[in-house]
């Protein structure tokens, strides 16, 4: 008589994706923030699992939310053949930890670079890479790790993961294991959000010479980027561009509405995903009359060429022997 084939048994590793701040103290998270968080974490997890050739198929499942913070409980279900040795089942937890550790490596790299282009030196003795940020602080990495972290593999995913962050509302996010112990280096503060913003994902078209009104809510002077609140209520990432973008910094100090001339990146639904700003005009608040916007008297023309993508490569270091 033929024996029935046993079904694969699920082995579960528990994870926690924790957002903290005044707005999430009751254990709730806005729907759009929850979607961004899960898209970012899920895609990053799957990409690294594929990269590491994890020998078991894993599926992430949301199993609940804890109170006192937006603590999203996630289970990584791994279906393991019951005929495989028990040591293989035990290894599932190690696979999950290795995936998270690699994601954390990307986070540490981006926090080190603070949105700037990496400057690198190759150590002739051991072949490791010294990666310098604008503050000339060095991070030493094996060549393979540097190439991975600088590949932008998780740029759009970490962008989604950190979109809920906003000072005074959602202050931080971090990864924890099933027992609530944080993964070292995984915490991202709201003030570091700009280091993780990306305009690559879902940008399908651009419109040039567009006038928009709103307020500049944040500014990272290393990357000349921040968060722009449109009058409609939508929040969009912006980048100051042109020959002297630092001349626009004073506009951020102005606590009021501004009109910007910019190149707008739009997604497939024609929603703005990035503003490349090359002109700013201050507006005065009017609390009593709602007026149609008028064109500013003088605004600069768009730059012919926008700054190139901020990427560092090993070829740059080897061919040009760039010094820090």
State the CB neighbour count (10 A cutoff) for residue 27: 13
Show contacts of 49-56: CB within 8 Å, 24+ apart: 49/95, 49/99, 51/102, 51/153, 52/95, 52/98, 52/99, 52/102, 54/95, 54/99, 55/88, 55/95, 56/11, 56/80, 56/88, 56/92, 56/95
- For 225-229, what is the mean pLDDT? 87
Report the pLDDT value the prediction gives residue 295, as an integer from 0 to 100. 44
Instruction: Answer whether residue 308 shows pLDDT above 50.
Output: no
Q: Name the most confidently modeled range: 26-40, 274-288, 296-310.
A: 26-40
Report the pLDDT value the prediction gives residue 157, as an integer from 0 to 100. 92
- 22-64 pLDDT, tens per residue? 888 877 788 888 888 999 999 999 999 888 887 777 778 888 7
State the CB neighbour count (10 A cutoff) for residue 253: 8
Helix (H) or strand (E) holding 48, with range, is helix 31-51
C-beta of residue 6 within 8 angstroms of C-beta of residue 83: yes
Retrieve residue 65's tokens: 């939310």
Those residues whose C-beta lies under 8 Å from the C-beta of residue 125, and which sit 6 or more positions away, are none
Predicted TM-score (pTM) above 0.85: no
**Which SS3 state, helix, strand or coil, does residue 133 take?**
coil
Q: What one-character DSSP code corresponds to residue 24?
A: G
| Spatial distance between the Cα atoms of 143 and 315, rounded to a whole number of angstroms | 12
Confidence of residue 286 (pLDDT cuts 50, 70, 90): low
Retrieve residue 319's tokens: 């061919």
Report the pLDDT value the prediction gives residue 87, as an integer from 0 to 100. 41
The backbone torsions φ and ψ at residue 119, rounded to the nearest 5 degrees and listed phi first, read -115, 130
How distant is the alpha carbon of residue 148 from its chain centre?
A: 16
C-beta of residue 112 within 8 angstroms of C-beta of residue 133: yes
Report the pLDDT value the prediction gives residue 320, as an integer from 0 to 100. 41
Report the pLDDT value the prediction gives residue 82, as an integer from 0 to 100. 53
| Spatial distance between the Cα atoms of 66 and 232, rounded to a whole number of angstroms | 32
Could you tell me the residue ranges of all domains in the chain?
A: 9-110+141-196, 201-315
- 85-121 pLDDT, tens per residue? 444 445 667 888 999 999 999 999 999 999 888 999 9
What is the 3-state composition of the chain as percent helix, strand, coil, each rounded to the nearest 5?
30, 30, 40
CATH class of domain segment(s) 201-315: mainly beta
Show contacts of 61-65: CB within 8 Å, 24+ apart: 62/38, 65/27, 65/28, 65/29
Instruction: Answer whether residue 223 shows pLDDT above 90.
Output: no
What rounded mean pLDDT belongs to the chain?
A: 79
């Amino acid at each position: 008589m033929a024996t029935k084939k046993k079904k694969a048994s699920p082995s579960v590793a528990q994870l926690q994706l924790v957002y903290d701040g005044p707005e999430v103290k009751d254990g709730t998270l806005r729907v759009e923030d929850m979607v961004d968080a899960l898209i970012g974490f899920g895609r990053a997890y799957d990409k690294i699992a594929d990269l590491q050739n994890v020998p078991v198929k894993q599926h992430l499942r949301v199993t609940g939310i804890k109170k006192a913070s937006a603590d999203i409980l996630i289970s990584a279900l791994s279906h393991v053949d019951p005929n495989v040795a028990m040591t293989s089942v035990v290894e599932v937890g190690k696979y999950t930890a290795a995936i998270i550790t690699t994601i954390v490596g990307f986070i540490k790299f981006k926090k080190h670079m603070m949105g700037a282009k990496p400057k690198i030196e190759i150590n002739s003795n051991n072949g490791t890479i010294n990666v310098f940020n604008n503050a000339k602080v060095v991070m030493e990495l094996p060549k393979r790790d540097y190439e991975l972290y600088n590949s932008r593999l998780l740029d759009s995913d970490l962008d989604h993961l950190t979109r809920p962050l906003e000072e005074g509302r959602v202050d931080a996010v971090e990864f924890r294991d099933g027992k609530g112990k944080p993964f070292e280096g995984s915490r991202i503060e709201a003030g570091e959000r700009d280091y993780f913003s990306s305009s690559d994902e879902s940008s399908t078209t651009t419109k040039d010479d567009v006038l928009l009104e709103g307020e500049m809510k944040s500014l990272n002077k290393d990357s000349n980027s921040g968060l722009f609140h449109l009058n409609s209520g939508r929040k969009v990432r912006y980048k100051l561009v042109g020959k002297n973008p630092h001349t626009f910094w004073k506009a951020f100090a102005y606590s009021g509405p501004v009109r910007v001339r910019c190149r707008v990146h739009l997604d497939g639904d024609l929603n703005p995903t990035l503003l490349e700003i090359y002109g700013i005009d201050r507006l005065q608040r009017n609390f009593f009359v709602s007026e149609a916007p008028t064109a500013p008297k003088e605004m600069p023309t768009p730059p012919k060429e926008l700054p190139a993508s901020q990427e560092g490569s090993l070829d740059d270091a080897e061919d040009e022997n760039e010094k820090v």
